């Protein structure tokens, strides 16, 4: 069993890296060598320049022959007008009859690199997006502490900041896709997932300043929005790596992501990273709010519910090719996707092109960071036959991403079910059409 992890900072084109070279099917490799030899021979004959038969001269683009748009006096840049299809979208699987307690999904199939641009970080709100003035916003820390404290944004930004890369995933990502192909695109099936560099300060600093009493073992985070969303989080996790965050990807948080302040609980289901954070309270037990009993719990086959299932377990998905894409012709192509784990770092990703019967280890693209999206790629020579693509991630705890069937051994999966980290399948038709598949 292959367990090595290969990481490289950038793809190389020529010569082919050894690992990629070895992975090419032998027939393909021979074709490649023949072609290279032919090109080299042609180049020699033509005096050092390879040639193709003449077709049509390249047109000079209008943009080359006119002045562009001038620099504006004061502006915040936007994506090209040709990229309007790259946008967050509400779910098209079920339509909530209001769009305040609702969600919208990130266009993972269009993401470049491992950082999600702020304008397309997924949304999940319980009462819409508030517009909060940072000049009047306050955070309080109280409960089982020596001295309750109040902080302005200016106070909080006076501390030295830390900036860390983490993914953020909603526990409901994939909730409709356990037993049927409800979603068609990877945006709809996996788009309650984003990642970025988050800037703020450790929550532990504020707790230490307030002086946590020794019995304080649970922490409440509460939002200042119209849902006053609340969760209980164990003190151990809070002290380990939780942040209060005001920045994302080089700027202040966007309103829909918690401006001006949110909690950030690395690797755990998104809703515990409470947005618009106004209050941190310390207690000796959890509160058992609606948001951690009637919601965000996972049904078990015996009729009970798994509670405080915080970690987002190891998962991966192929983003290209993915649902509703079309492969234009047979031949070599790069299968790419994301892998991530709330329990550590990704150590390997395997790809199958035959629906999970046989697997090959994919390449991981550096950087490979703890609790962060990791890019994988696998070069596949598609011969034009039907195929089913899957990816399977392994994390630093040794956990192997399961199939839905594996998860169904211990979980009830009918209805809208959280924590779907099962293997995703995409089918390829002879025409190159890519569709969501269940195998």
Q: Which of 139, 119, 418 is nearest to 274 (CA)?
A: 139
Q: How far is the CB of 378 from other proteins (least distance, A)?
A: 14
Contact string (CB under 8 A) for other proteins, positions 290-329, x = contact: x--xx--x-xx-xxxxxxxxxx-x----------------
Residues that contact other proteins, how many (by CB under 8 A): 88
Q: How far is the CB of 32 from other proteins (least distance, A)?
A: 25
> Given candidates 17, 255, 356, 432, which one binds other proteins under the rule CB under 8 A?
356
Residues 94-133 that bind other proteins (CB under 8 A): 97-98, 100-101, 126-127
Contact present, 219 and 232 (Cβ < 8 Å): yes
Q: How many CA atoms lie within 13 Å of 407's alpha carbon, on the beta-carbon side?
A: 22
Residue 317: name the closest of 436, 171, 227 by CA. Answer: 436
CB atoms within 10 A of CB 355: 16
Closest contact distance (angstroms) between CB of 290 and other proteins is 4
Q: Which is nearer to other proteins, 299 or 384 (CB)?
A: 299
Q: Please choose, out of 56-64, 84-92, 155-163, 427-435, the segment that lies near other proteins by the rule CB under 8 A.
A: 155-163
User: How many Cα atoms are found within 13 Å in the side-chain-facing hemisphere of 162?
Assistant: 13
Chain residues 365-404 in contact with other proteins, contact rule CB under 8 A: 367, 369-370, 392, 394, 399-403
Q: In the window 12-71, what residues touch other proteins (CB under 8 A)?
A: none
Q: Smallest Cα–Cα separation from 185: which of 106, 278, 285, 122?
A: 106
Site for other proteins in 252-281 (CB under 8 A): 278-279, 281
x-marked contacts with other proteins along 190-219 as a string, rule CB under 8 A: ------------x-xxx-xxx---------
| Residue 165 dihedral angles phi and psi, to the nearest 5° | -90, 125
Shortest Å distance, C-beta 297 to other proteins: 7
Q: How far is the CB of 434 from other proteins (least distance, A)?
A: 22
- The structure tokens 């169904």 sit at 408
Could you tell me how many residues make up the chain? 439
Residue placing its CB nearer to other proteins in the complex, 32 or 289? 289
3-state secondary structure of 256: helix
CB of 62 to other proteins, least distance (A): 46
Q: How far is the CB of 257 from other proteins (least distance, A)?
A: 20
CA distance 156 to 203: 11
The smaller minimum CB distance to other proteins, of residues 360 and 383, is found at 360
Which parts of 410-429 interact with other proteins (CB under 8 A)? 410-411, 414-415
Least Å distance, CB 132 to other proteins, is 14
Closer to other proteins by CB, 109 or 341: give it: 341
Question: Which of 124, 128, 72, 171 is CA-nearest to residue 421?
Answer: 171
Closest CA to 365 of 119, 20, 23: 20
Tokens of residue 15, six digits:
């010569």
Pairing type for strands 251-252 and 243-248 reads: antiparallel
């Amino acid at each position: 069993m292959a367990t090595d992890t290969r990481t490289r900072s950038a793809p190389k084109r020529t010569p082919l890296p050894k690992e990629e070279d070895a992975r090419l099917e032998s027939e393909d490799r021979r074709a490649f060598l023949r072609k290279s030899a032919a090109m080299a021979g042609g180049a020699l004959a033509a005096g050092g320049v390879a040639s193709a038969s003449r077709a049509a001269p390249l047109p000079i683009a209008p943009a080359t022959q006119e002045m562009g748009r001038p620099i504006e006096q004061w502006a915040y840049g936007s994506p090209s007008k040709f990229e309007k299809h790259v946008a967050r979208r509400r779910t098209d699987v079920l339509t909530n009859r209001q769009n305040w307690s609702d969600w919208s999904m990130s266009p993972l199939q269009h993401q470049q690199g491992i950082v999600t641009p702020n304008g397309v970080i997924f949304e999940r709100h319980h009462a819409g997006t508030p517009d909060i003035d940072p000049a009047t916003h306050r955070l309080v820390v109280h409960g089982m502490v020596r001295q309750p404290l109040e902080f302005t944004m200016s106070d909080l930004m006076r501390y030295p900041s830390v900036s860390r890369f983490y993914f953020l995933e909603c526990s409901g990502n994939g909730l409709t896709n356990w037993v049927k192909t409800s979603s068609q695109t990877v945006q709809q099936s996996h788009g309650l997932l984003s990642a970025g560099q988050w800037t703020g300060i450790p929550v532990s600093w504020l707790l230490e300043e307030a002086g946590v009493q020794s019995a304080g073992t649970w922490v409440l985070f509460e939002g200042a929005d119209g849902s006053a969303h609340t969760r209980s989080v164990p003190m151990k996790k809070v002290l380990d790596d939780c942040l209060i965050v005001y920045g994302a990807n080089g700027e202040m948080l966007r309103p829909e992501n918690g401006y001006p302040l949110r909690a950030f609980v690395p690797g755990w289901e998104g809703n515990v990273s409470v947005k618009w954070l106004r209050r941190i309270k310390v207690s000796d037990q959890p509160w058992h709010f609606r948001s951690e009993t009637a919601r965000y719990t996972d049904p078990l086959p015996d009729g009970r519910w798994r509670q405080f299932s915080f970690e987002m377990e190891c998962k991966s998905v192929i983003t290209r090719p993915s649902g509703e894409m079309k492969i234009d012709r047979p031949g070599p192509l790069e299968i790419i996707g994301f892998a991530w784990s709330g329990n550590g770092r990704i150590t390997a990703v395997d790809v199958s092109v035959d629906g999970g019967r046989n697997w090959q280890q994919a390449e991981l693209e550096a950087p490979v960071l703890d609790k962060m999206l990791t890019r994988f790629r696998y070069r596949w020579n598609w011969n034009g036959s039907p195929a089913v693509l899957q990816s399977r991630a392994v994390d630093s705890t040794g956990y192997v991403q399961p199939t839905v069937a594996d998860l169904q051994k211990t979980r009830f999966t009918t209805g809208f079910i959280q924590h779907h980290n099962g293997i995703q399948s995409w089918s390829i038709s002879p025409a190159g059409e890519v569709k969501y598949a269940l195998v």
